[in-house]
Amino acid sequence: MKHLLSAADLSYEDAILVLDTAKQLAAATEQGVGKLPPLRGRTVVNLFYEDSTRTRISFEAAAKRLSADVINFSAKGSSVSKGESLKDTALTLEAMGADAVVIRHNSSGAPHRLANAGWISGGVVNAGDGTHEHPTQALLDAFTLRNHLRNGEGDLKGVNVTIVGDVLHSRVARSNVLLLNTLGAKVRLVAPPTLLPYGVEDWDCEVSYDLDASLEGSDAVMMLRVQRERMNAAYFPNAHEYSNRYGLNVTRMNRLSESAVVMHPGPMNRGMEISADVADSQRSVIVEQVANGVSVRMAVLYLILGGSESM
């Protein structure tokens, strides 16, 4: 694995390898041995053009636990705010000897450009690009699902995952549809028609406009963040109506099967797409997703940087 730009880059074998590696790394970390040595002397740059405290910290923790040197390069307070181009920033990072660049960018495809334009030689990890993809989020979601529904082993064959909300603008949804299919799960997208991408009927998933009709049979419900600003662009009338039709409240949650889990990539709008009671309920695995994020990102960095076999 040279780069991780899209969840589509991962074959079935790749995806299982990442999840199994994450499991091993999580176990090693839990044994309390402190930092693991495999990426000692390697440099990982977190290049963040968007505010994203949780993803940046998650990648930073992952790299540090593998003993890599971490450089955080955020768009604010750096040369980027003075108008430096992505290319020049990339050339600078290359000159500084970055072995891997973790990039979050508001432009869809920016990680592809970084990886393929010939600006840098190191690996590139997409930490979220515009409304395109967020492959490590999909990996941590799969890892979480596997822990809960498959005892942390194998794939997700036969698991029914319902993804609800602003699919149109969601990089999380795109990556999840791709990866969950690779792992054998069945995906259903639920959203008002305005928040589904053009051509979604050609995607490898079911599509519904009706949340209530979609709860039964779901093994997991993943709620997507819906920005309140979207209602100004007439995607839906107002937050209240959205919440009534597409929000996950306790009544709806109680209709899920006993073993079903509730997920959210964060940050949540409590009271909008998810009620506080649901977010804090026993079924919610939202905090666990965050913890798993570090393990999965350790695995991705480890595999991309070709860490030595001695973990």
Partner 1 sequence: MTSYVIKDVAILDGKSTDIVVKDGVIAEIGKGLTADQTVDGSGCIALPGLVDLHTHLREPGREDAETVLSGSRAAAMGGFTAVHAMANTNPVADTAGVVEQVWRLGQEAGLVDVRPVGAVTMGLEGTALAELGAMADSAAAVRVFSDDGKCVHDAALMRRALEYVKAFDGVVAQHAQEPRLTEGAQMNEGVISGKLGLAGWPAVAEEAIIARDVLLAHHVGSRLHVCHLSTAGSVEIIRWAKSRGINVTAEVTPHHLYFTDDVVESYDPIFKVNPPLRTKADVEAVRAGLADGTINIVATDHAPHPSEDKDCEWTAAAFGMNGLESALSVVYETMVQTGLMNWAAVADRMSVAPAQIGRVSTQGQPIEVGSPANLVIFDPRASQEVDARKTVSASRNTPYAGRTLPGKVVATFYRGKPTVLNGELNA
Q: Which of 56, 65, 104, 113 binds partner 1 (CB under 8 A)?
A: 113
- Tokens found for residue 151: 């005892």
Give the shortest CB-129-to-partner 1 separation in angstroms: 7
Of 66-105, which residues contact partner 1 (CB under 8 A)?
85-87, 105
Burial of 229: CB neighbours in 10 Å, binned 0-12, 13-18, 19+: exposed
**Residues 142-201, interacting with partner 1 (CB under 8 A):** 171, 174, 197-200
Q: Is 108 in the site for partner 1 (CB under 8 A)?
A: yes
Nearer to partner 1, 81 or 85 (CB): 85
Q: DSSP secondary structure string, 273-301?
A: TB-HHHHTSTTB-HHHHHHHHHHHHHHHH
Interface with partner 1 (CB under 8 A), residue from 72, 131, 208, 249: 131
Task: State in angstroms the smallest separation of the CB of 300 from partner 1.
Answer: 20
- Residue 54, sorted as left (phi over 0), alpha (psi -120 to 50) or beta, turns out to be alpha
Q: Which is nearer to partner 1, 79 or 85 (CB)?
A: 85
Residue (130 or 266) nearer to partner 1, CB: 130
How many separate helices (H) and strands (E) can be counted in the chain?
10, 9
Instruction: Give yes or no for residue 252 binding partner 1 (CB under 8 A).
Output: no
Residue ranges with strand state E in 139-211: 160-164, 186-190, 206-208
d(CA 91, CA 305): 19
What values do phi and psi take at 169, rounded to 5? -100, 10
Please tell me whether residue 107 binds partner 1 under the rule CB under 8 A: yes
Q: Which is nearer to partner 1, 92 or 281 (CB)?
A: 92
Of these, 11, 79, 81, 106, which contacts partner 1 (CB under 8 A)?
Answer: 106
